[in-house]
Amino acid sequence: MEKKPRSVKDKRYEEQHKAERKAKNATWGTSVPREKAEQINAFLERYGYTKVQLIEAGYKALLDEAAGHDTFLAKIMDKYDDFFGFESDKSEK
């Protein structure tokens, strides 16, 4: 029996699990100016961060910034569960 090359096995595996990966993960097709992308990549490499860590940290920073302007969001982020009546209406939206 002839062994299949690893590349053929890998391709079959990828094809079989494509739907599972698509359901589990999201990919954003976006572009950044080359100079900015090179700066970001250099930073990530220098300090040992991944692009996923960059996205997660940026998202958290933006959430924190938004919470500074939105008391309702701040309370949710702080797991505050004692809302006034007028605030509870927002939680249902």
Q: Is 7 within the bounds of a domain?
A: no
Task: List pLDDT tens digits, range 60-91.
Answer: 898 888 878 777 777 777 766 665 566 555 54
Task: List pLDDT tens digits, range 10-56.
Answer: 888 888 888 888 888 888 888 999 999 999 999 999 999 999 999 99
Is-contact 53 46, C-beta < 8 A?
Answer: no
pTM of the model: 0.58
- Residue-number span of the structural domain to which 71 is assigned: 49-93
Round to whole Å and give the CA distance between 2 and 8.
13
State which amino acid sits at residue 58.
G
Using the 8-state DSSP alphabet, how is residue 31 labeled? -
Round to whole Å and give the CA distance between 72 and 63.
12
Question: What's the domain count of the chain?
Answer: 1
Q: What is the pLDDT of residue 92?
A: 45
Q: What is the pLDDT of residue 82?
A: 61
Q: Is 86 within the bounds of a domain?
A: yes
Q: Is 19 within the bounds of a domain?
A: no
Task: List pLDDT tens digits, range 19-28.
Answer: 888 888 888 8
